[in-house]
Structures are given as C-alpha cells and as structure tokens.
Amino acid sequence: MQAPRYTNNSWQQVACRADFAAYLSFLSIDWERACYGQTSEAPASQRWLHRNIDDFLWGWVHLLSGRLNGTGLLHEEDPGRPGWRGLAYQLDTARTTPPEPEVVRALADSGTEPEEVDTAGDLLMYVASLATDFSRDQRDYQAKAERGEWTGDGGSWAHGTLCNWFEAWGAWVGADSPRHAGLEPVTWRSIAVQLSVARIYE
C-alpha cells in the first residue's frame, strides 16, 4: 500500500496510524528541506521555528499549557482521546509555537513516566521532562567530546536532529508488534509511549 502524499496542511489528511506514520516522514523531510533551503515553498521561518529536538518539545509544551481545556486544539471526537488527526495537528502547530517560558521549565524534572500519563497535563509534564533530558544528554555528549573521551555510542538519545527523530518515530509507529496494539485508540498515555520509544528507536 502506497503512503499518501502530504502537503503543508497534511495533518487534515491523517485518519489512522498508517497516515500518521507517513505524516511523521513528511515532517522529517520538510524539516530537512526547510533547514537546508531545499524548497521553493513558504519560507522556513513560516513552517519551522525550531532547529533542535528540545526546542520543538518546548514549543509543544507551550501549546499544551495554553489549551489544556480546549478541544479545539485536539480535534477530539471523544474527550481524553486526541486521535491520530488531533496528534498530527498538535505537531503541526508545535513546529511554529515558541518555546515555553522558563517558569514552566522549572517543573520539567517531574519524573513522570509514560505509564503514569493519563491527561493532557500529564503529557505536558512528560514532554517537558523529555526536553530537559535531551538538553542534558547533548551537554554530556559535548563535554565528553571536549575532554577527548570516546563518543562513538552517542548519548542516551538515539537521534540528535529533528529529521532523524521524526523518521525513527514514524518507522516505529508504522510497524506492527504486540506493543503496537496498545496505541489504539490514541490516548495521552499512548502518545507518551510513542515518545518514549522514539527517543531510543533506530
């Protein structure tokens, strides 16, 4: 089955897990083209505000923190269940949402685990903890390199760029295994599970 072709408004075409996996592949390609000037479409600044994974995650946190009680953000058909289209809409909006102010960043080391995520507020805390963890991992990796230590295995994150992270996330979401059964229907917890896997999936 051929993956659907996506445009800049492609979140509207997402109706199922396969569509969402294809949308993540689109985000990967679009980010790379925008960052390296390989497109004649809208200027990169209108399509991508963020260059790094942690900045993107902070934009997502900002988005969630401002709309926790608004279904307009999520396009929900069922309260508490964002759906694949709602999740795609969040990512599409987060890529041009400025990072959350420092006041929320102070709450980032919440220790929230994916299995503990039940609400949009829980997801906000989990995404914030991932942003903090990525920043810490990049600092540790850079410090090792500057000390001349071996860095061949990278850090605790499998990917250091948004394009590779989106690509890995899409590859895992588009695959099938017993664990994938827990992704349907889309819930705040299943989103957290996806993010926890995308962090390490190669």
* Average pLDDT of every residue of the chain: 80
Segment 156-172 mean pLDDT: 93
**Amino acid, single-letter form, for residue 34:** A
- Evaluate whether residue 87 is within a structural domain: yes
Domain count, the chain: 1
- Evaluate whether residue 159 is within a structural domain: yes
Percent of the chain at pLDDT > 70 equals 71
The reported pLDDT for the residue numbered 171 is 96
- Evaluate whether residue 88 is within a structural domain: yes
Tens-digit pLDDT profile for residues 36-75: 766 555 555 567 888 899 999 999 988 888 765 444 444 4
- Evaluate whether residue 5 is within a structural domain: no
Cβ–Cβ < 8 Å for 115, 85: no
Tens-digit pLDDT profile for residues 60-71: 988 888 765 444
Residue 26, exposed/middle/buried by CB under 10 A (0-12, 13-18, 19+)?
buried
- Evaluate whether residue 50 is within a structural domain: yes
Cβ–Cβ < 8 Å for 192, 185: no
- Evaluate whether residue 120 is within a structural domain: yes
pTM: 0.83
The reported pLDDT for the residue numbered 1 is 38
Cβ–Cβ < 8 Å for 128, 69: no
- Evaluate whether residue 33 is within a structural domain: yes
Q: Is 7 left (phi over 0), alpha (psi -120 to 50) or beta?
A: beta
Of residues 35 and 114, the one with the higher pLDDT is: 114
The reported pLDDT for the residue numbered 14 is 92
Per the structure, the complete domain to which residue 21 belongs is given by 10-198
Alpha carbon separation from 71 to 11, 56, 83, 135 (Å, rounded):
16, 22, 12, 31
- Evaluate whether residue 4 is within a structural domain: no
Q: Please, which residues have CB within 8 angstroms of residue 194's CB and are 6 or more apart in sequence? A: 169, 172, 173, 183
The reported pLDDT for the residue numbered 4 is 47
Q: What share of the chain is helix, strand, coil (3-state, %, to 5)?
A: 60, 0, 40
Listed residue (162, 68, 172, 77) closest to 123, CA to CA: 68
